[in-house]
Amino acid sequence: MALTAQDISRVAHLARLELEPQESERALGHINGFFKLVEQMAAVATEGIEPMAHPAELTGAVALRLRDDAVTEPDQRQANQQSAPAVERGLFLVPRVIE
Amino acid sequence: MSAQGPLHEMGVAQLGAGLKARAFSALELARHCLARAEHDATASFLALNPEVTLAQARASDARRAAGNAAPLEGVPVAHKDIFVTRDFPTTAGSKMLAGYRSPFDATVVARLAQAGMVTVGKLSCDEFAMGSGNENCAYGPVRNPWDAARVPGGSSGGSAASLAARLVPAATGTDTGGSIRQPASFCGVTGIKPTYGRASRYGMIAYASSLDQGGPMARSAEDCALLLSALCGPDPDRDSTSLDLPAEDFSASLNADLKGLRIGLPQEFFGDGLAPGVRAAVEAALAELQKLGAALVTISLPRTELAIPVYYIIAAAEASSNLSRYDGVKFGHRAREYFDLESMYKKSRAQGFGSEVKRRIMTGTYVLSHGYYDAYYLQAQRIRRLIAEDFRSAFAQCDVIAGPVAPTVAWKIGQNAADPLADYLADIFTLPASLAGLPAMSVPAGVGEHGMPVGLQLIGNYFAEARLLNVAHRLQQATDFHHRKPAGV
């Protein structure tokens, strides 16, 4: 099954990427090449096999820990915002969302 | 210069001993590394900050003078630019994070600092660790010290190249699908990826969270053991997947006897695709291990080839989710021109990410999207379990698995530019252990085609890092592959 140019543009939208036409075309070729490798997966019998999302279950670290509900970090707003593209009075600036 | 030769020729253990004996100071050593890094022909470094490095070295000398020397006191280390650092910029090799400064240090960085190590700088890597040749770095390729026209491997390419070029004695790397082992192999250095969960992922910029694992790279197994002992350990409050295992002394059994050790050779790792020179080097290293008393047994990892699509689906899916955080709001690149919030996202991400990162994000978005999730993502996860079970069966027949790290030696820079899939296929031997979460390492095994280094891969069962390092150390006691260095270095 091959992807089409429409698939690429739909996926690019979902991934919030604005691709140049040339870039879309290259991505289409590459992703289709990759999905040729993926075809061999369909032939593998996996009925009754539980999907393995994570190696944690194999290393015995199954249960996700919960830490105490306690404040452990001091206020670091300034440090945390030092690399923000646009900040004013401690707030992140974004384009207007609500008219 | 010291009585034992130039400082840059010494490894972690030797430098530690020299510092302890006051043969030289941490400050002298830091200055020596910085001078070499400043004249680096490999482009390994993305950031240096001599002021910070020298201040750390002075503080280290002061601790020693006060009788408070830590285990790796004064020994220099450089960090892959995937680890966030407060005192150096962190880019993950991406334009997206140009100029980014982290408000904190990654746990691995902090642990090595607590062990007394002095940070030399930040090392180049493929963008967000996505690549096998360090060619996907937004700041340019890294050159292999053995042949400047060839890649150092990736994604921890700067780590491997800086070690081979004798710029630093120790480096950190991260391995998602082979990113410590393959560059170590291509540059003739030693590197180990521990069991998933041994090293904290806190502050390690996320690519594929169920696979990402940090580890040390150096020029010997002995040095890797010292570094691994310092950087592993539980980080329960900051990494939910950090293993609750006490720190271990991975140096304790380095010299253990190999008599009776069963080394499993997966037949799938020795097929037609293996370059003859790589095969010969790996077989010669295995023969050395036999001389040391190990027995070689043939085993099978029947789903080796399937590891390629399985890995590239799972890693892409996780990457598409992890990299959604780069939206141009809280940190990272923001486009100069846009007309609403969505166009700000789309333009910022399109400008900030390189082509390979975009392709993986799109592949991941696609396999997670409605209608494809079961056929691709879940099917990949089911086969991932089968791959892990193949290892379980294999370890019933052997104690350690060995084979090549990669099918070939380092390729020429630009060779695969038109065919990114060629890079994917070259990951075939490192991907299975990554998917299973097993510890694995690369040990120099001589040279193959074009006089380029070849690595022997050793894969262990869960938590068997000490065993892997033992096998590697004994091999390095019996051979000099790890002492060989590129011409002109």
Amino acid sitting at position A36: K
Residues composing chain A = 99
SS3 B237: coil
A and B: number of Cβ contacts within 8 A: 176
What are the chain A neighbours of B358 within 8 Å (beta carbons)?
Answer: 15, 17, 19, 23, 27
Asked if A92's CB is within 8 angstroms of B341's CB, the reply is no
Q: Which domains does chain B have, with CATH numbers?
A: 7-258 (3.90.1300.10)
What local confidence, expressed as pLDDT, does residue B4 receive?
59
What local confidence, expressed as pLDDT, does residue B2 receive?
45
Asked if B381's CB is within 8 angstroms of A53's CB, the reply is yes
Nearest-CA distance B242 → chain A (Å): 8
Reported ipTM: the value is 0.95
Whether residue B106 lies within 8 A of chain A, CB to CB, comes out as no
What are the chain B neighbours of A3 within 8 Å (beta carbons)?
Answer: 366
What are the chain A neighbours of B365 within 8 Å (beta carbons)?
Answer: 11, 14-15
Asked if A30's CB is within 8 angstroms of B388's CB, the reply is no
Instruction: State what percent of residues in chain B have pLDDT above 70.
Output: 99
Instruction: State what percent of residues in chain B have pLDDT above 90.
Output: 96
For A50-90, write each residue's pLDDT tens digit: 999 999 888 876 566 778 889 988 899 999 999 999 999 99
Give mean pLDDT, residues B166-182.
98
Contacts of A84 (CB under 8 A, 6+ apart): A92, B329, B330, B331
The whole-model pTM stands at 0.97
pLDDT of B376 > 50? The answer is yes
pLDDT of B3 > 60? The answer is no
Q: What is the DSSP string of B176-196?
A: SSSTTHHHHHHHT-EEEE-ST
What local confidence, expressed as pLDDT, does residue B247 receive?
81
What single DSSP character describes residue B142? P
What are the chain A neighbours of B329 within 8 Å (beta carbons)?
Answer: 84-85, 92, 94
Q: Which of B346, B369, B376 has its CB closest to that of A38? A: B376
Kindly report whether the peptide bond that precedes residue B185 is cis, defined as omega within 30 degrees of 0: no
Asked if A31's CB is within 8 angstroms of B366's CB, the reply is yes
What local confidence, expressed as pLDDT, does residue B237 receive?
86
Nearest-CA distance B251 → chain A (Å): 22
Question: Which among B383, B205, B405 has a CA at the least distance from the CA of B311?
Answer: B383
pLDDT, averaged across chain B: 97
What are the chain A neighbours of B330 within 8 Å (beta carbons)?
Answer: 80-81, 84, 92
d(CA B403, CA B429): 8
Q: Which domains does chain A have, with CATH numbers?
A: 1-44 (1.10.20.60)
Nearest-CA distance A8 → chain B (Å): 8
Asked if B99's CB is within 8 angstroms of A82's CB, the reply is no
Catalytic (active-site) positions of B: 80, 155, 179
SS3 B233: coil
Q: Which of B244, B332, B350 has its CB closest to that of A19? A: B350
